[in-house]
Amino acid sequence: MNNTKEKPLHIHILGICGTFMGGLALIARELGYKVSGSDQNVYPPMSTQLEEQGIQLMNGYKVENLDCKPDLVVIGNAISRGNIEVEAVLNRGLKYISGPQWLSEHVLQDKWVLGVAGTHGKTTTSSMLAWVLEYQGFNPGFLIGGIPLNFGISARLGQSDFFVIEADEYDSAFFDKRSKFVHYRPRTAILNNLEFDHADIFDNLAAIKKQFHHLVRTIPSEGLIIAPETESNIDDVLDMGCWTPVARTTINRQTQWQAQLIKTDGSEFKVLFEGTEQGIVSWKLTGEHNVYNAMSAIVAAKHIGILPIDAIKALKQFKNVKRRMEVIAKIKDVIIYDDFAHHPTAIQTTLDGLRKQVGTEKIVAIIEPRSNTMRMGVHTQSLAESLAKADIAMIYQPENLDWDLSELKKFAENIEIYTTLEAIIEQLKIQAKEKAHFVLMSNGSFGGIYKRLLSEL
C-alpha cells in the first residue's frame, strides 16, 4: 500500500460478485485501496453490499473495463482463459494475482489465522467461530462464504490479531491450481470432514486428500488441528504426515471433546472436555452436523484463550447464516426454508435434523442440482438416498443438465422430476393445502423460484 493520500492504489477484481471475491473487495476497501470490479451477473445482495462501500461495479466482462488502468488485477477462480477481460489483462501486461494469494500477502501475513476447511459446514462453522470471538470482545476480521446473520456482512478487516477464514479446497485461479486454503497458513485449523466434491477440478477423492495434506503441511507445530473422531478420510490425510497436535470431537462417544445430546434433533446438548461438563448449548439450530460445527468452534476458541463456558454463551445467541435453513416465509400452515445445499451429505444431514424437529409433519424437499459435481451426475445414488427423510422430493431438471435425473428413481420412491419451475410451483400449491415444511435447496438463485412461490401462495 503506498502512502500517497491523493491517489490510493487501484485494485480491479474479476468475478467481484462471488462471496469470496466480494468479501475480498470489502476488505481491500477498508485497507484504503480504490476498488472496482466486473462480473457477468451484478446482482444483490452482494452488489448492494459493494456499492454501499463506494466500489464501482461493471456488469459484464469487457476490454474497456480496464481503461481505468488499475495497479493490480485480482482474478477470481471462476474466470477462465478466453474470457475477454482476462485476455486483455494478459495482452496489456497488467499485474495480476489470485484472490487467495492477495489475501495472504496483504491481510493474513501478521494475523493469527483460524481456518475452517471441509466438504461441508465451512460457512456455518466459520460464522460460529467469528461470532464467539466477537461476543468475547476480540473484534476479529473474517472472510466467510455467506452472510452470518449476527454480522450482516460476509467480510471485514476487524481490529485484532485474529482472522477467521472459510478455507475452501477449490482451486485459486486459472493460473494457480492449488487449493485456496494452501495460501492461508492457519495457526488454528478445523477440518470438518472430507468427501468427494468439485468433480470439475478433482479426478477422485485421493486428489482432494492430497490438497488437504498440503494444508496440514502449513500448520505450525505450536498450532492446533481440530477434527471429528469419526472422519476416516481426515485420518488418511493426517496419516500422510502431521506435525501439529490434533483435538478430536465426537457426539455421544468417549473422546477428549464430547457432545452429549439432550435433544435428539441437536437443539440442546452438553459439552464435555475430558469427561468434565463445560456447559449446555441450547439454540434454534438442528442436526448433528451443527453440533459438530459448534464443538469445533468451541475447541478453536479455547485455543486462543476463550473458555468453553463463554463460547457456549455466545453460541446460545448465534443466529445462523443466511440461506442455511433460513425461514423465509410462514404462510398459513406452511413454513418455507431456504437452504444452500450443494452435496448429498449436506442434504441428508439437513433433512435429518428437520425430521427430528418436526416429527411426522410433511416435509417437501425442492432441489436444484446446481453444483458442478451434482450437475455432472457424480452422486446419483447418494443424492437419491439423501432425500429419504422427505415425504416428497421434487427435483428440477433444466434443459442444460448433463444427465437424466430419472435415474434417481431407481434408488428412491419419493422422487418426482420436473422440467419447469411452473410445474413445481403448481404442485407446491397443492401440497400447501395441509401443514407442511417446504425446503428449497440450491446453491444458486433457483431461477427466482423464491419470490414466485411466495407470490403464488
Contact of 331 with 346, CB cutoff 8 Å: no
**Low-confidence winner among 272-276, 301-305, 357-361 (lowest mean pLDDT):** 357-361
Taking residue 124's Cβ as centre, other Cβ atoms within 10 Å add up to 28
Residue 196 clears pLDDT 60, i.e. is over it: no
The Cα–Cα gap between 128 and 348 comes to 21
pLDDT digits (tens, 9 = 90+) for 85-134: 999 999 999 999 999 999 999 999 999 999 999 988 899 999 999 999 99
What pLDDT does residue 316 have? 97
Contact of 150 with 127, CB cutoff 8 Å: yes
pLDDT digits (tens, 9 = 90+) for 51-87: 888 899 999 999 999 999 999 999 999 999 999 999 9
Residue 189 backbone dihedrals phi, psi, to 5 degrees? -125, 125
Within 13 A of 215's CA, how many CA atoms are on the CB side? Answer: 32
> Considering the chain, what is the average pLDDT of its residues?
89
What pLDDT does residue 74 have? 98
pLDDT digits (tens, 9 = 90+) for 432-450: 888 999 999 887 778 788 7
What pLDDT does residue 202 have? 63
Which amino acid does the sequence have at 396?
A: Y
**350: pLDDT confidence band, cut at 50, 70 and 90?**
confident
What pLDDT does residue 371 have? 57
For the domain made up of 110-315, give the CATH fold.
UDP-N-acetylmuramoyl-L-alanine:D-glutamate ligase (3.40.1190)
**4: pLDDT confidence band, cut at 50, 70 and 90?**
very low
What pLDDT does residue 407 have? 77
What pLDDT does residue 64 have? 97
What integer is the mean pLDDT of 27-41?
94
CATH code: domain 326-456 is: 3.90.190.20
More confident of the two residues 37 and 369: 37
pTM: 0.82
What integer is the mean pLDDT of 304-333?
91
The CA-based angle 245-248-252, given to 5 degrees, is 165
Contact of 424 with 449, CB cutoff 8 Å: yes
Nearest one of 182, 145, 147, 142 to 162, comparing CA atoms:
142
326-331/392-396 β-pairing: unpaired
The Cα–Cα gap between 302 and 251 comes to 19
Q: Would you state the cell numbers that stand for residue 137, as one nine-digit string?
A: 470482545
Domain ranges of the chain: 10-98, 110-315, 326-456
The Cα–Cα gap between 396 and 249 comes to 37
What percent of the chain lies above the pLDDT cut of 70? 93
Residue 10 clears pLDDT 50, i.e. is over it: yes
Fold match, 10-98 / 326-456: no
Contact of 297 with 114, CB cutoff 8 Å: no
Contact of 192 with 143, CB cutoff 8 Å: no
Nearest one of 25, 21, 185 to 111, comparing CA atoms:
185
Upstream peptide bond of 45 is cis (omega within 30 degrees of 0): yes
The Cα–Cα gap between 381 and 415 comes to 12
The Cα–Cα gap between 44 and 24 comes to 17
For the CA atoms of 131, 143, 35, 70, the dihedral, rounded to the nearest 10 degrees, stands at: 160
Gyration radius (Cα) of the chain, Å? 22
Q: Would you state the cell numbers that stand for residue 402, as one nine-digit string?
A: 448433463
**270: pLDDT confidence band, cut at 50, 70 and 90?**
very high
More confident of the two residues 202 and 68: 68
What is each CA distance from 8 to 4, 35, 68, 71, 106, in whole angstroms? 7, 9, 13, 10, 15
Domain 10-98 belongs to what architecture?
3-Layer(aba) Sandwich (3.40)
Contact of 98 with 176, CB cutoff 8 Å: yes
Residue 402 clears pLDDT 80, i.e. is over it: no
Phi-psi region of 279 (alpha: psi -120 to 50; beta: other; left: phi over 0): left
What integer is the mean pLDDT of 385-413?
82
Residues 6+ apart with CB under 8 A from 301: 129, 132, 133, 136, 308, 310, 311
CA 171 and chain centroid, separation: 15
438 strand-pairing partners = 336, 364
Phi-psi region of 287 (alpha: psi -120 to 50; beta: other; left: phi over 0): left
The Cα–Cα gap between 429 and 438 comes to 11
Phi-psi region of 42 (alpha: psi -120 to 50; beta: other; left: phi over 0): beta
**203: pLDDT confidence band, cut at 50, 70 and 90?**
low
Residue 15 clears pLDDT 70, i.e. is over it: yes
